[in-house]
Structure 1
Amino acid sequence: MTARTRGNGLVYPVLGFVSVIAFIYMSFGEFMINVQKGTTNQWSFVQRNGTHLTENGKVFYINGWNSYWLMEHAVEDYSRHRVKEMLQVGAKMGLTVCRTWAFNDGGGYNALQISPGRFDERVFKGLDHVIAEARQQGIRLLLSLVNNLPAYGGKTQYVKWAWEEGVGLSSSNDSFFFDPSIRHYFKNYVKTILTRKNTITGIEYRNDPTIFAWELINEPRCSTDPSGNTLQDWIEEMSKFVKSIDKNHLLTVGLEGFYGPKSPKASSFNPADWAGNLGSDFIRNSEIPTIDFASVHIYPDQWFHFGQDMEEKLEYVSKWMMSHIEDGDKELKKPVMFTEFGLSNLNHGYDPSQRDRFYKTVLDIMYRSARKKESGAGTFFWQFLVKGIDEYNDDFGIVPWERPFTHQLITKHSCRLAAVVQGAMPSQINNIKQLCSV
């Protein structure tokens, strides 16, 4: 999902104050002791141990969110405060990782890469600020490196560059994946990002544990080759390239989670036939050794336009999530993260309670997976905003503290995930202690 329009019952009661207190009291006895022993200055790189994410050998689970706009707002003096505000709000809700764009390609407003290999230092300093501020607030970052969609340049811009320079093999957007010149452009970009020395912290990005992981591309699709071979080859080459430069950070693809046409799960779990013909394949793309964890998105109202009521959508969401968690445990032997999930407010008959029910369904499945020590490693809301940036909103965005039930749902999930592992990541200890103690 990006800032764009996609074309493609029963309301849970608000938990009372007494029940919240009881939940915290019963769940956090030993956890509180561990929190008090921790310090906030112990940062290390997040690693993978089988189907789990670990820091310093300790398993943890992510309650995360998307704010794709952070770098752009960090560039200008008048808007930079919004970066701190968003990260502070996330930290206060016990959130651990923010997914955001580390790209803006082309000649648009505040573009980072103006042309192949040519960068705007002013914008790069904005990204430096985002990383430094995230560290200050105890938040990790999942940084995406390019967009499959035209927003912020994306693969469309890379193809345009090659075409204008007379080296492009095709004007098709999918030539991004197979054109040698475009692959060279992208590799140069990746190397520049990974080896960037932060002007605020003095740390190269590849050596900074504030960065939780890299994402190769947001929602890759290569529909001109539904066999999946073209995209598979690109993922293999680019993931090896990233790992050759940066051996510290985890890496994911950025998939939506659709099963390919040869997958035995395609007919049972894909939302429709079209999903199996996009050139991606969740299992095949994710099992590459240089990919550390699998990513999945959840947009039931965008995938089913007609004939699905809310109950059917929620039932599908449960089926979709549990299928991919099962894949992580049995097929991939890797963590699975739901790096985007959202429900549009443009649906016919939309009511905010529907979004709360959707959120609760996603978070409850994630919590059950954590309690069972399954491969489900985290979820990321799409998307969170602060007041005053309506132009960055889409029909999925929320200002989380404006609806009490939603805010309480998010904070409770942070506490119960921390309770599962009887503690918290060092970077979030103070936030969790304040949020979950009574």
Structure 2
Amino acid sequence: MSGLLGALLFLGLGIASTQAATLLPPSEEWEYVKPCGHQLCLYNKPWYFMGANAYWLIDFVKRDKGIVDRFFDRCNDFGLKVIRLWAFNHRMPYAWGKYDETEFQGLDYIVDSAGRHNIRLILALGNTWSAYRSPQDYMQMAGVDPAGKDLLDFYGSAEVRHFYRDHISAIVWRTNAFNGRRYRDDAAIMMWDAMNEPRCPGCIDAKSQATQHAFLDEMTAHVKANAPHQMVALGTEGYFLNSYEGWNPGAGARCEGEDWAALMHMKSVDVSVVHAYERQMESVPPKWGKCDFACFCNYLIQYLSAHQRIAADSGKPLILEEYGLILPEYTVEQRILLFRLVADNLQWMKKTGGAMAGAMFWNAAIGTVWDDGYNVYLDGPVEKPTPKPTPAPTVTPTSAPGTSAPTSAPSSTPTSAPTSAATTPTPTSTPEPSRAPIVANTETLTDFLRGPQRAACAEEAARWWLPIWTAGWAQTVDMAAYTKRCADMTVLKVFKDTMDIIYAP
């Protein structure tokens, strides 16, 4: 690459073509995490990890760079070695080839701090949803009016594809203002998601699928050509279409337009990923009922098992890239049980050399970071607090004339029996309160996101769909045993107990 072109890239005024790119050697400080068959490897050994999402970093770094360092310190305390966030922001970009330098330097600082803290990053390059930057925004910046169009038009537009390729190049060729390395040459960036949750609701016909797949294939290939040392994934949720559909979390899941088994076979995709939440569970119309928490836990383990088998057979590693449980719809005890269940699954993967290399929850936070109901505060208590015993009631008898009354009655003569808490303290079930008001994400499938097409598809799918998770043999998790096991735990204690096993030689 010429010096002039490199300067243009730094300023966000020009974009390198794949043909013009001169591949630079990787940074020497770190080894890159690499796929090795159906596993991830680091220093030529299989590597398994715990991690988290922290989408808020891209905003909070502008207010206080120190919060990034404090956050990564806490991540290290609990063995969270991989953090996922956005490589886009409100003004990243704000026009074709133009990026707010203050916001970009915020991302620079996050990447540099991650390297200094021995943390790896997964950076998502775009979003299907409206947060920060939406497909409609990209269409407008590409000169395409989104009015009257939908997500399928986004995938199919030649102008949008050109814009998105340039956006990818601007990010991966960025020179970090704090360490002087291009993003593409920084081993702190473990992997790129070409897009976050690239659905195409209602796109179940061959033509629509081909349009979506062509976009994703082109973008993953562009990332790989420009950042060959780093891994590439699709940010998928794991829904099945045309095969394995019985493993879907609901009849409507096939209607999200994500053929996971086909997408993971794309040549430039190094790692397969899934996102798993209880909110994805749905049964059939008219009420679209959801199974309860125990049902979800049993289903989740089998859902992950199915993806692990498919990934292993395909020779690609699997990452559970998002999971979590929302409060207060569910209890903190249920969240602890879910995290313990996932941690046990990850430990089993390491023991058996399985395909699921990592598990990343949504969402890790510290301080007063805003809460969408999924926050796990890493600066909270590790041990479950135990309430102090309630003191025995006191009795003050009438004093005899000329004598002073004792300050309290003898313990053998209370006026009422002491409460059970006075003699048998029990662990509290009250979670640490949220540091910020819980504001749940209520985004719905709009016309642009093909909500009507998805609804019509789901109604039709429900006529024949038979969920595997309703079968009696599917109940494999001993919920009573897990409840007892987790009685004295916190989520942070789960991390502490797991990290020594996951990272043991």
TM-score band by shorter chain is 0.7 to 0.9
Other-structure match for 1:344: 326
Alignment partner of 1:68 out of 45, 51, 55: 55
Q: 1:172 to 1:248 in 2, by over 3 A?
A: same
| Distance in 2 of aligned mates of 1:197 and 1:257 | 33
* Residue 89 of structure 1 pairs with residue 74 of structure 2: yes
Other-structure match for 1:433: none
Whether the 8 Å CA contact 2:144–2:159 is kept in 1: the answer is no
Other-structure match for 1:278: 256
| Distance in 1 of aligned mates of 2:88 and 2:363 | 18
Q: Alignment length, in residue pairs?
A: 363
- Shift in Å, 1:403: 4.6
**Cα RMSD between the aligned structures?**
1.7
Alignment partner of 1:236 out of 214, 217, 222: 217
1:346-382, CA deviations, whole angstroms, 9 ceiling, x for partnerless residues? 42xx321000111111111121112110111100010
Tell me which amino acid in the other structure corresponds to 1:408. Answer: K
Q: 1:48 to 1:306 in 2, by over 3 A?
A: same
1:76-112, CA deviations, whole angstroms, 9 ceiling, x for partnerless residues? 3xx22211111110011122110011112xxx4xx22
| Distance in 2 of aligned mates of 1:312 and 1:54 | 34
Whether the 8 Å CA contact 1:301–1:313 is kept in 2: the answer is no
Whether the 8 Å CA contact 1:50–1:333 is kept in 2: the answer is yes
Other-structure match for 1:59: 46
- Between the aligned residues of both structures, percent identity stands at 26
Tell me which amino acid in the other structure corresponds to 1:248. Answer: H
Whether the 8 Å CA contact 1:114–1:120 is kept in 2: the answer is yes
| Distance in 2 of aligned mates of 1:72 and 1:200 | 18
Other-structure match for 1:146: 126
| Distance in 2 of aligned mates of 1:177 and 1:309 | 36
| Distance in 1 of aligned mates of 2:320 and 2:72 | 20
Superposition pairs of residues 213-362 of structure 1, within 5 angstroms: 213-227=191-205, 228-260=209-241, 262-263=242-243, 265-266=244-245, 268-304=246-282, 306-330=289-313, 332-347=314-329, 350-362=330-342
Whether the 8 Å CA contact 2:139–2:145 is kept in 1: the answer is no
- Gaps of at least 5 residues in structure 1 are 1-40, 423-438
Structure with greater helix share of residues: 1
* Residue 417 of structure 1 pairs with residue 502 of structure 2: yes
Whether the 8 Å CA contact 1:97–1:141 is kept in 2: the answer is yes
| Distance in 2 of aligned mates of 1:137 and 1:72 | 20
Whether the 8 Å CA contact 1:71–1:127 is kept in 2: the answer is yes
- Gaps of at least 5 residues in structure 2 are 1-27, 283-287, 383-489
* Residue 171 of structure 1 pairs with residue 154 of structure 2: no
Greater C-alpha radius of gyration: 2
SS state at 2:190 partner: strand
* Residue 406 of structure 1 pairs with residue 496 of structure 2: no
| Distance in 1 of aligned mates of 2:149 and 2:259 | 24
Q: 1:187 to 1:133 in 2, by over 3 A?
A: same
| Distance in 1 of aligned mates of 2:254 and 2:210 | 13
- Shift in Å, 1:324: 0.6
Whether the 8 Å CA contact 1:117–1:188 is kept in 2: the answer is yes
Tell me which amino acid in the other structure corresponds to 1:370. Answer: K
* Residue 117 of structure 1 pairs with residue 102 of structure 2: no
Other-structure match for 1:396: 374
| Distance in 1 of aligned mates of 2:333 and 2:303 | 21
Whether the 8 Å CA contact 1:229–1:279 is kept in 2: the answer is no
SS state at 2:191 partner: strand
List, as ranges, runs of 4+ consecutive aligned residues in structure 1 with deviation greater than 4 Å.
166-170
Whether the 8 Å CA contact 2:281–2:291 is kept in 1: the answer is no
SS state at 1:339 partner: strand
Other-structure match for 1:369: 349
Other-structure match for 2:37: 50
1:259-291, CA deviations, whole angstroms, 9 ceiling, x for partnerless residues? 01x11x10x210112111222111100111210
SS state at 1:96 partner: strand
Whether the 8 Å CA contact 1:159–1:171 is kept in 2: the answer is no
Tell me which amino acid in the other structure corresponds to 1:75. Answer: K
Larger relative contact order (C-alpha < 8 A, sep ≥ 6)?
1
| Distance in 2 of aligned mates of 1:356 and 1:166 | 46
- Shift in Å, 1:175: 2.0
Other-structure match for 2:427: none
| Distance in 1 of aligned mates of 2:210 and 2:218 | 12
- Shift in Å, 1:224: 4.4
| Distance in 1 of aligned mates of 2:162 and 2:257 | 22
Superposition pairs of residues 128-143 of structure 1, within 5 angstroms: 128-143=108-123
TM-score (norm 1): 0.80
1:179-221, CA deviations, whole angstroms, 9 ceiling, x for partnerless residues? 0111111111100001101111000000000101101111111
1:226-276, CA deviations, whole angstroms, 9 ceiling, x for partnerless residues? 23222211111111111121111000000000001x11x10x210112111
| Distance in 2 of aligned mates of 1:199 and 1:363 | 37
Stretch deviating more after TM superposition (304-313 or 358-367): 304-313
- Shift in Å, 1:383: 0.3
| Distance in 2 of aligned mates of 1:307 and 1:244 | 43
Other-structure match for 2:18: none
TM-score (norm 2): 0.69
* Residue 103 of structure 1 pairs with residue 88 of structure 2: yes
Q: 1:400 to 1:115 in 2, by over 3 A?
A: same
Other-structure match for 1:210: 188
Tell me which amino acid in the other structure corresponds to 1:356. Answer: I
